[in-house]
């Protein structure tokens, strides 16, 4: 067993803390005894400016999981259904049930791609929300804006479309586009500072949509949705936007290197726009995970595949070296 452990099971950001974040945290620690901006108004204003929209159309929250929960609780009456694609983020069914709603999982096509016609067909009069993940966790699939517009066209007026973009910054900007520019009042988009900005432990995310959709979330958590310390870090991270984008590009290049390496070894790995790849080994998933663990690489089985987060180059080298042995071609 190798003594070095590479933790590649949680899609974390392994790159250095963004410049200015540590200083902002230290500065805000000196003021934890004062109320500060309990409504995160400055952060919401700043996010609205970045998005080119009105502050009333952005609500900040304690990470995207909390915002997903608030959204579902605010918009789903008991007995409503929430249609989501599968495989996708494994927390969705739990969050949906927590909101008193019923999850309806729609399987992807033969290549595990999200199936627009099947999603539309699963919608009934009871459906309140359709939830899709872009890029999808774990498959890595990137949905372009035209795909999402076609889905909106296929949905009846009483259904909201919630797009979870937790990993958007790792995707090719030309491929993912910017769905927040689509002027449809049924559309909401949730994003997070946990992955691209490396602030998972501080819990900051935001959700954008029209005021009728966003407003009810403010009522489920009336104030201190984001602690002042986390607000300070998020604002500093936004100031470091160029560095953040450069780091995400480095992550994406490493992800593509791992993807290309695995495909060259004969593994079945769909292209990914996230900070991970999803290796489909069917009955050999567990064997592959055990083999990686013996090389000090910790990964996770998700749905029918093994999800390997993108780490620093050394960790990714360890993945490729172990995969090469597994594939029967020793170095």
Residue 186: name the closest of 222, 221, 148 by CA. 148
C-beta of 321: minimal distance to ligand PMP in Å? 27
Q: Which is nearer to ligand PMP, 207 or 323 (CB)?
A: 207
Q: Which is nearer to ligand PMP, 11 or 81 (CB)?
A: 11
Residue nearest to ligand PMP (CB): 63
C-beta of 318: minimal distance to ligand PMP in Å? 22
C-beta of 257: minimal distance to ligand PMP in Å? 22
C-beta of 111: minimal distance to ligand PMP in Å? 20
Where do contacts with ligand PMP occur on this chain (CB under 6 A)? 11, 63-65, 89, 133, 137, 164, 166, 192, 194, 200, 205
Q: Which is nearer to ligand PMP, 200 or 320 (CB)?
A: 200
C-beta of 196: minimal distance to ligand PMP in Å? 10
Q: Which is nearer to ligand PMP, 194 or 295 (CB)?
A: 194
Contact 91, 101 (CB under 8 A): no
Q: Which is nearer to ligand PMP, 44 or 164 (CB)?
A: 164
């Amino acid at each position: 067993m190798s003594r070095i452990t590479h933790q590649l099971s949680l899609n974390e950001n392994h790159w250095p803390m963004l410049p200015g974040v540590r200083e902002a945290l230290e500065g805000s620690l000196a003021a934890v005894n004062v109320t500060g901006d309990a409504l995160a108004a400055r952060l919401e204003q700043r996010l609205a400016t970045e998005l080119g929209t009105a502050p009333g159309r952005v609500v900040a929250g304690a990470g995207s999981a909390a915002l997903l929960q608030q959204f579902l609780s605010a918009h789903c009456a008991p007995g409503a259904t929430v249609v989501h694609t599968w495989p996708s983020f494994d927390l969705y069914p739990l969050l949906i049930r927590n909101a008193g709603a019923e999850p309806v999982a729609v399987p992807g096509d033969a290549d595990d791609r999200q199936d627009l016609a099947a999603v539309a067909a699963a919608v009934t009069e009871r459906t309140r929300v359709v939830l899709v993940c872009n890029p999808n966790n774990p498959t890595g699939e990137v949905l372009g804006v035209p795909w999402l517009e076609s889905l909106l066209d296929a949905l009846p007026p009483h259904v909201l479309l919630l797009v979870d973009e937790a990993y958007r910054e790792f995707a090719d900007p030309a491929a993912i586009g910017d769905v927040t520019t689509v002027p449809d009042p049924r559309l909401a988009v949730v994003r997070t500072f946990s992955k691209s900005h490396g602030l998972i432990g501080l819990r900051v995310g935001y959700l954008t949509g029209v005021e009728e959709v966003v407003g009810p979330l403010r009522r489920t958590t009336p104030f201190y949705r984001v602690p002042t310390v986390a607000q300070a870090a998020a604002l500093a991270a936004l100031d470091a936007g160029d560095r953040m984008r450069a780091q995400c590009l480095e992550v994406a290049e490493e992800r593509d290197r791992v993807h290309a390496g695995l495909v060259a070894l004969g593994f079945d790995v769909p292209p990914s726009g996230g900070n991970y790849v999803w290796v489909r080994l069917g009955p050999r998933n567990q064997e592959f995970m055990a083999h990686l663990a013996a090389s000090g690489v910790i990964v996770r089985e998700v749905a029918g595949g093994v999800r390997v987060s993108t780490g620093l180059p050394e960790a990714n080298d360890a993945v490729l070296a172990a995969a090469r042995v597994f594939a029967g071609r020793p170095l």
